[in-house]
Structure 1
Amino acid sequence: MSSEIDSSTLLSRASQLIDLARKAGADAADAVVVRSRSQSVSVRLGKVEGTESSESDDFSLRVFIGKRVASVSANPGFDLQALAERAVAMAKVSPEDPFACLADEANLAKSYPDLQLFDATEVSSEMLREAALAAETAALAVKGVTNSSGAGASGGMGGLVLATSHGFAGSYMGSRFGHSVSVIAGEGTGMERDYDFDSRLYYAELDDPAEIGRRAGERVVKRINPRQVPTGKNVTVIFDPRVARGFVGHIAGAINGAAVARKTSFLRDRMGQQVLKSGLSITDDPLIVRGPASRPFDGEGVSGERLVMIEDGVLKHWFLSTSTGRELGLQTNGRGVRGGTAVSPSSTNLALEPGDISPEELIRSVGNGFYVTELIGHGVNMLTGEYSRGATGFWIENGELAFPVSEVTIASNLKDMFMRLTPANDIDRKFGVAAPTFAIEGMTLAGQ
């Protein structure tokens, strides 16, 4: 990956685009460039299977005429004037949107911190190949591993260039590096698959590829010869951090202002009420230095701040962009994200804050229960909170992981699950969604 690219040329083109849109009849406009550069190498059984390299600068122009809005996208090399005129012509015939607008000028970031999101380390395809091979070799060396699904290594960068007609102009870039491996244990119908990976902003902070491979091998071997367990109610289920992060993503979806405005969230009427067990908090912070999902400003030029979204179990905030906030009668909190030509709210560095006990103590406290390491399917209804998903993991017997389990389903309602959640203290904040191991009491398990 090359060193950080100067964004001044892109910012100049974005500003030009806005000027042309205003001249063509737009009342207001913003232009954004989403920049990405990446390269990756994949290997399987000691041989390179693929190498990829990509670069893109995707331009989007959004124009406003009264309460009408239109957006257009283009790749580099487009005719600026033609794009601006096309956007304005589209806006003139678009239906009115009472909530679409630029962020209020008072909310725009006047200055923003250096969050150290960019690592200029150059990784060659040879370095990526060696890392992928080292991960696979270490995984295959674990006794019981019988085959490889492949390993990969990647490096890249991405960022945002934003200019608006009411004075905002800014850009930032972030880097991302990763190693991963997936392997198989067992034979025939008894085969099991598992994986491990690491992803960081800074190359030097990545876990050693051989360590990633060893962990993947050890994980898959533990899954050999799984059993089924009897159906039961009031089962305590412990979520491994890997699946716990996905569960916290359900919480984020339920407190997203867009879902609330559409009335598709089961928490839409719960602002100011208790939605998690007392003592639990969910935080969101876009300004963590070297944070995996940090950003100095959002997709509308607004700086966010650390928010305790759920404090001591009580719901305090929605994730809001400008238009979503207006629809709900609220102000943006700097959570707007550009997705193609649209802006919608989303989380940044989201965390279910940890508890006080270790994962081992949590497992011992359960006695008998189910430790989930993988979830299957999409059986989550965000309108009602109904939750039902296939799961694999390990049965907990007398406070210890006893044997692997597969082909079971766990079910409950998210409203109840939130109120019965007990977190451990092992949070890992290197991911954009962070969560510790946690237990949820009173779930239904469908097995034999």
Structure 2
Amino acid sequence: MSHSLSDLSQSLLDAARAAGADSADVILREGSSISIDMRAGTLEHAERAEGIEAGLRVFMGQRQACVSGSDIRPETFAMMAERAVAMAREAPEDPWIGLADPAQLSARRNAEGLELHDPAPEPAPEELQEDARRAEAAALAHEGISQVQSASAGYGASEAFIATSNGFAGGYRRSSRSLSCVAIAGTGNGMERDYDGDARVFQSDLRSPEEIGNRAATRTLERMGAVAPKTGSYPVLFDERVAASLIGHLCGAVNGAAVARGSSFLMNALGELVLPESLTMTEDPLRPRGPASRPFDAEGLTVAPRRIIDAGVLTGWTLDLATARKLGMTPTGNAARGLSSPPSPSNWNLELTQGSASREELMRDMGTGLLVTSLIGQTINSNTGDYSRGAAGFWIENGEAVRPVNECTIAGNLRQMLLSLNPANDAQAWRGSVVPSLLVEGMTIAGA
């Protein structure tokens, strides 16, 4: 990186003090990214982006305001600080905002040992183009694949630095490498498509272009001839690649911001069973090479592994400083932040207990029902947990997939759905949400 983010952060904090702020915090991000799209064997799109951005939050008593910019000149920092202070003076008071107590600040100030940045050289555009080309060629080699909608490869590297006026200063670097392919088969109303992709911190962990292209093609061809399933109440098995969405709804319900607003279907469930007793859900922000790992949160607080749900019992909420104060609890080190917005609670590297059975064994046990491999749209009532989503996948009879299905809706109530979860053993350990295929008993399916 060509700038010292540490020096720049102190300059912006100095500007905030000079403008009259009582206190302030700063986040700076500098990085670059490359993305390549291939289609029909030729380069369709190539993009490279580089830049540095700064976000400033100032406090005037119990009022706050956030501003951001991409110009790091001293006069720009001064203007940002003056505008932020002027905005804060007009903002409504919030009794819960404010910087952390110095005793709450993390002693860890860098990402040493977390392996968040690949030391390998940045790949040349030609390397990314070749990876995308190979993935597309692998998909097109399958008889029945008429075209590849997109084959994309990308790389990104960034550095982030956070500083506060009460003494915190820390930063870390992060890298990412991705590859994906979307294949299409059939024509007109009989057209189907599916995909495969991979995203890793380290290039060496990325699956091969051939594997990604082949899997995208195979999944697409398996979907040919899809029809609407029967309407009724049946067990539904959420495939591993969509099962994390259920856990996402659970995480939304235990998010402190939702609880503080009174808009969580689990707001009165603290200390109660919300999952079967055999299941525990943890998060680990310190997992090496984890896509959501970090050495500290966006408010400079300590992060650590924790059990959100222990043996089925909800143990606590996901909290940043403000929501913790509002709820009278201790913050959990889960603050995330954009450049122009205040912090809010978020989760890092979730993992749900796996079962002992394979996905195929769960299909055998469910007898007749629906295997869901993709979801579209959603109607989720955050207060009641009522759940309804469009779905596609495969109809199961006598424990085996007999035909692909689409154009159906699955519905239920998340509180009951979560309590009936039966996990498979196929979770992918490298994902941000390590969640296996999940069987839910007795959902309503609206189809033909």
Q: CA deviation at 1:6?
A: 6.5
8 Å CA contact 1:256–1:318 kept in 2: the answer is: yes
Is residue 38 of structure 1 aligned with residue 12 of structure 2? no
The 5 Å alignment of 1:145-164 reads 145-164=145-164
Query: What's the counterpart of residue 53 of structure 2?
Result: 58
Q: Output one character per residue of 1:277-317: Cα deviation in whole Å (capped at 9) or x when no partner.
A: 11111111100011111000111111211111011111012
Inter-partner Cα distance in structure 1 for 2:291 and 2:72: 32
- 8 Å contact from structure 1 (residues 353, 427) kept in 2: no
Q: Provide the C-alpha distance between the structure 2 equivalents of 1:18 and 1:97, rounded to a whole number of angstroms.
A: 22
Question: What is aligned with 1:90?
Answer: 87
Secondary structure in structure 2 of the residue aligned to 1:377: strand
C-alpha separation in 2, matches of 1:263 and 1:101? 22
Q: How does 1:312-351 map to 2 (within 5 A)?
A: 312-339=311-338, 340-351=340-351
Aligned amino acid, residue 68 of structure 1? R
| Pairwise CA RMSD | 1.3
Instruction: Give the conservation status (yes or no) of the 8 Å contact 2:26–2:163.
Output: yes
Asked if residue 362 in structure 1 is aligned to residue 362 in structure 2, the reply is: yes
Q: Following the alignment from structure 1 to structure 2, what is the Cα–Cα distance between the partners of residues 442 and 242?
A: 21
Indicate yes or no: 2:190 matched with 1:193. Answer: no
2:267 matched to 1:284? no
Residue number in structure 2 paired with 1:396: 396
State how far apart, in whole Å, the 1-side matches of 2:92 and 2:227 are. Answer: 57
Structure 1 CA distance for aligned equivalents of residues 152 and 390 of structure 2: 28
Cα pair 2:115 2:288 within 8 Å, conserved: yes
Q: Give the match for residue 208 of structure 2.
A: 208
Structure 2, gaps ≥5 residues long: none
SS at match of 1:356: coil
Q: How big is the shift at 1:148? A: 1.4
> What is the identity, as a one-letter code, of the residue corresponding to 2:402?
A
Query: Any conservation in 2 of the 1:358–1:426 contact (CA below 8 Å)?
Result: yes
* Residue 259 in structure 1 maps to residue 258 in structure 2: yes
Distance (Å, rounded) in 2 between the aligned partners of 1:35 and 1:325: 30
Tell me the equivalent position of 2:98: 101
Cα separation, 2, equivalents of 1:264 and 1:159: 35
Asked if the contact 1:62–1:71 (Cα under 8 Å) also holds between the matched residues in 2, the reply is: yes
| Aligned equivalent of 2:17 | 22
Q: Distance in 2 between matches of 1:93 and 1:231?
A: 55
Contact 1:61–1:341 (Cα < 8 Å) also in 2 = no
1:164-179 superposed matches below 5 A: 164-179=164-179
The aligned counterpart of 2:425 is: 425
What residue number does 2:229 align with?
Answer: 229
Residues 386 and 413 in structure 1, CA contact (< 8 A), matched pair in contact too: yes
Q: Give the letter aligned to residue 394 of structure 1.
A: F
**DSSP 3-state at the match of 2:343:** strand
CA distance in 2, matches of 1:11, 1:185: 52
Deviations 1:174-221 (A, max 9, x none): 100000010111122101010100000000110000110000000000
Residue 264 of structure 1: CA displacement? Answer: 1.3
Q: 1:205 to 1:108 in 2, by over 3 A?
A: same
Point out where structure 1 has 5 or more consecutive residues left out of the alignment.
Answer: none
- Which of 50, 66, 69 does residue 71 from structure 1 map onto? 66
- Check conservation: 2:108, 2:296, Cα contact below 8 A: no
Residue 376 of structure 2 is matched in structure 1 by 376
Identity across matched positions, percent: 46
Secondary structure of 2:59's partner?
strand
Other-structure match for 1:246: 245
Q: Answer yes or no: is 1:126 the counterpart of 2:126.
A: yes
1:143 maps to 143
Distance 1:213 1:321 in 2: 41
2: CA distance, partners of 1:187 / 1:27: 64
Please give the alpha-carbon distance, in whole angstroms, between the structure 1 residues aligned to 2:65 and 2:391: 44
Q: What is the rounded CA distance, in whole Å, between the counterparts of 1:229 and 1:51 in structure 2?
A: 41
Report the Cα distance in structure 1 between the residues aligned to 2:25 and 2:59, rounded to whole angstroms: 9
Question: Structure 1 length normalisation: TM-score?
Answer: 0.96
**How far is 1:127 from its partner?**
0.3
Letter in 2 for 1:67: Q
Q: Deviations over 1:330-388 (max 9, x none)?
A: 12111000123311010010122211212121111111111000111122222211111
Cα deviation, residue 108, structure 1: 0.7
Structure 2: how far apart are the matches of 1:398 and 1:437? 19
Distance 1:55 1:108 in 2: 31
Q: Deviations over 1:93-133 (max 9, x none)?
A: 22211111112211111125511100132201000000000
Q: Distance in 1 between matches of 2:171 and 2:49?
A: 21
TM-score (norm 2): 0.96
Partners in 2 of 1:423 and 1:35 — Cα distance? 40
| 8 Å Cα contact 1:238-1:363 kept in structure 2 | yes
Task: Determine if the alignment matches structure 1 residue 116 to structure 2 residue 111.
Answer: no
1:388-432 CA deviation, whole Å, 9 max, x = no partner? 111110111111111111111111000110011100111112221
